Copies of this chain bind each other. A is one copy, B any other.
Amino acid sequence: MLLNCPLPLATTDRVLLGHGSGGKLSAELMRDIFLPALSNPILARLDDQAQLEIGGLRLAFTTDSFVVKPLFFPGGDIGSLAVHGTINDLAMAGARPLYLSAAYVIEEGFPLADLRRIADSMGRAAQQAGVSIVTGDTKVVERGAADGLFLNTTGIGLIPASVTISAAAARPGDVILLSGSLGDHGIAIMAAREGLQFDTVLTSDSAALHTLVEAMLAAAPAIRCLRDPTRGGLSSTLNEIAAQSATGMRILETEIPIRDEVRGACEMLGLDPLYVANEGKLVAIVAPEDADAVLAAMRTHPLGRNAARIGAVTQENAGRVVLQTAYGTTRIVDMLAGDQLPRIC
């Protein structure tokens, strides 16, 4: 990740929206403030979850605060999104998600009916995924001190002994798989926020991916890397894996599934779908001999029906992602710089 951060934090003395984008500025914050302050080898791995050893058990542990705006959107709400997001960060370690916490920061005057709707949605999402929300916290701040409601979910999962997944494990020759179409969540949020009308309603892909991961691991337990391309999109996810694995990535534009309505909305809004957030998709890096089996397993799962082989890990261009365009040219796809879509999750 650090290879892609040429700008020192010294260029600003204030937090910018881009520091929360999941792109370059987020990486700078991590490198310049959080890693030095909190230094420990588990955090320094920069995975989406900590992998812990406690009394012989391997546990995954991950936290996310959700500030999505609007709170309710086609395909979900902040409650289901928070449950899915935390489950997915656990699943990306190959862990079976077990327990979640839920912590609310609520603005005084927030409608209790909306709070009930969000809590009910969390409960349903957790039940459907087979996890329990076992502890929580509620803080209320005065009017104007928060924007409605923020929600933190933190999760614990159990990593099977046979599984070792890390963003640092990609090797040249590995195959890059993507579980489905890009950009659905980010565009659904933007459309809902801006009141944009399209021929079809754009729906978030928010979903819990752990059963998809289970199916993939059953097909090939030696999957090298798994990540869900949320904030910063596919481009930031691949750049992170490239940096942490010290390899290059080559992806083929023609192989990346994008729904027509999302492509159209991106063109209208001037957005690149490679940078738009997803909440129900994953990227897998697998050895070439495992690729067919994993892809087949993905396609038999409802959340991987449109899975595709989108590229390969390369020796050359270490730390970089190269896109071969539909016209046969190539271009470097960098991490998100600045902030494209604030408060997308």
Q: Report which A residues bind B (CB closer than 8 A).
A: 9, 12-21, 26, 29, 33-34, 37-40, 42-43, 49-50, 52, 54-57, 59, 61-67, 98-99, 101-113, 115-116, 119-120, 122-123, 126, 132-142, 144-147, 150, 152, 154, 156, 158, 339, 342-343
Contact = CB atoms under 8 A, between A and B. Distances in A.
A106 to B, nearest CB: 5
A109 B67 contact: no
A33 B66 CA distance: 20
Given A52-B134, A55-B57, A142-B343, 16 more contacts: A14-B112, A19-B140, A20-B140, A20-B141, A21-B140, A38-B123, A42-B132, A42-B135, A43-B134, A52-B98, A63-B154, A103-B152, A105-B105, A139-B150, A144-B144, A145-B343
Contacts of A66: 139
Contact of A104 (B61, B65, B115, B116): B65
Chain copies in the assembly?
A: 2
B105 A67 contact: yes
Contact of A13 (B37, B111, B146, B158): B111
A101 B154 contact: yes
A112 B15 contact: yes
Q: Which 5 A-B pairs have the closest CB atoms?
A: A20-B140, A63-B101, A154-B154, A37-B119, A50-B134
Contact of A33 (B62, B115, B146): B115
Given A37-B116, A109-B14, A152-B65, A55 B132 contact: no
Nearest to A55: B57
B126 A38 contact: yes
Contact of A49 (B116, B122, B135, B141): B135
Nearest to A62: B135
Contact of A99 (B16, B19, B52, B136): B52
Contacts of A109: 14-15
Nearest to A18: B140
